[in-house]
Amino acid sequence: MKRLATSWLAIGLCCLTSSVLAAPDEKLKAAAEAAKPALIDTLRDMVMIESGSSDVEGVKKMADFTEARLKALGAKTERRKVTHGPGGDIVIGTFEGTGTRKLMLIAHMDTVYERGISASEPYKVDGNRIYGPGIADDKGGIAVVLHSLQILKDAGWRDYAKLTVSFNPDEEIGSIGSGEFISELADQHDVVLSCEPTAAKPAAPHESLLLGASGTATGTLEVKGLASHAGAAPDRGRNALIELAHQLLQTMDVAKAIPGTQLNWTTAKAGTVRNQIPEDAVAGADIRLTVPDGVAKLQAALDEKVKDKLIPGTEVKVTITPGRPPFVANERGRAIAQAGQAIYAEIDRKLLIAEMTGGATDAGYANRSGKAAVVESFGLAGFGYHARDEYIDTDSIVPRLYLMTRMLIELGKHT
């Protein structure tokens, strides 16, 4: 294999791609093929564990399962309590190698489904599809990590300084208790490969790697008015509900003038009884961001808009609470995705590079400081996540194992 004398990380683009061979690594390919049945067994075991984000017992079972598997692979493991939310542990596995690069793999153990989902959506094999809650998002990602590391362990690969695996229990609720930790851990690594699913046929013509995902934030618009008898003395009141309506209308399009931001008012509440002019009203907005400074710009624009009031004497306040940061891959991330395309070409498959998705992922936390090169969607191909017919495409198992193992070998080589 051609080895480059210079550092691809320093140079950025191109070098990694050029060092990828056109012919497949037959040994690795055979190992990926041999691993397929075991990966499916692992998937079934994990789908049998219901692990909705709020299901503390379920996510603990997933943590027990994945920690045991990482230990069996030779990792030093650690569990960390999440700092916010319903609870659960982040499972961290660390491998010490003989090389120079620091590599990190992330996936999440929780699903969007409530306890009892298996009764209506059981694990089910149908041709090249396997259905089950969370099977693609993101148990497929965990399976790719575990079985790729098994293949590489069997091959005696240790060409890394440190290889870290992190599985969190709260991705589907914004990683509210693990996101900060993911950011900090990612900053200690050169590369982070995030293992969310890639869309399967027929939803997508080809599998892909992802370089961007929107961030999230919550907007809150609060109006303080003055209560008064709605029948006897309405004019003495300051109607918070009416003022809220005015503010919603005049701010509804505010994000349209700020590229990379989106705001939609989605909830509202005002008043408590019919016969009182309401003194409080509040609305909530779903905010999506594809630019790092989106929150600040949106806040400034909203603050300016709400100065214009309909009802004098009311107080209006807008706050934006940032959620998951937007993910916009850096040039090193892009170079890795391009190397992925070359790796897929070795096994005669086409890999697309997707620039941006509306769904937020933990790649945003990993990429926040820009220190590590981050690429998303190393999980299995699937579809129907967050819906009623979630499945993975078993034809993606071998290519995805080949991609991950081949990529790690390649990333480890570069000094």
Catalytic residues: 110, 171
3 state DSSP class of 202: coil
Cβ neighbourhood burial of 158 (10 Å; 0-12, 13-18, 19+): middle
Using CB under 5 A, which residues numbered 314 to 373 contact Zn ion? none
Strand order, beta sheet including 198-199? 124-126, 129-131, 391-393, 381-383, 198-199
Nearest-approach distance from CB 57 to Zn ion, in angstroms: 20
Nearest C-alpha neighbor of 284 from the set 333, 248, 249, 242: 248
137 in contact with Zn ion (CB under 5 A): yes
Pick between residue 140 and residue 294 the one whose CB is nearest to Zn ion. 140
Nearest-approach distance from CB 101 to Zn ion, in angstroms: 26
Site track 83-122 with Zn ion (rule: CB under 5 A), x = hit: ----------------------------------------
Four-residue CA torsion sign, 206, 262, 112, 324: positive
Beta strands 373-375; 228-229: pairing state = unpaired
- Do 55 and 375 touch, CB atoms closer than 8 A? no
Nearest-approach distance from CB 197 to Zn ion, in angstroms: 7
Give dist(CA 139, CA 62) in Å, integer.
Answer: 10
Total residues in contact with Zn ion, by rule CB under 5 A = 3
138 in contact with Zn ion (CB under 5 A): yes
Pick between residue 138 and residue 159 the one whose CB is nearest to Zn ion. 138
Pick between residue 137 and residue 346 the one whose CB is nearest to Zn ion. 137
Give dist(CA 220, CA 283) in Å, integer.
Answer: 6
Give dist(CA 388, CA 333) in Å, integer.
Answer: 33
Site track 185-204 with Zn ion (rule: CB under 5 A), x = hit: -----------x--------
Pick between residue 172 and residue 279 the one whose CB is nearest to Zn ion. 172
Using CB under 5 A, which residues numbered 195 to 254 contact Zn ion? 196
Pick between residue 141 and residue 333 the one whose CB is nearest to Zn ion. 141
Q: How far is CA 325 from CA 125, 166, 194, in A?
A: 36, 18, 15
**Which stretch in 58-66, 111-119, 134-142, 207-215 sits in contact with Zn ion by CB under 5 A?**
134-142
Nearest-approach distance from CB 138 to Zn ion, in angstroms: 4
Nearest-approach distance from CB 154 to Zn ion, in angstroms: 28
Encoded tokens for 348: 């005669």
376 in contact with Zn ion (CB under 5 A): no
Interface with Zn ion (CB under 5 A): 137-138, 196
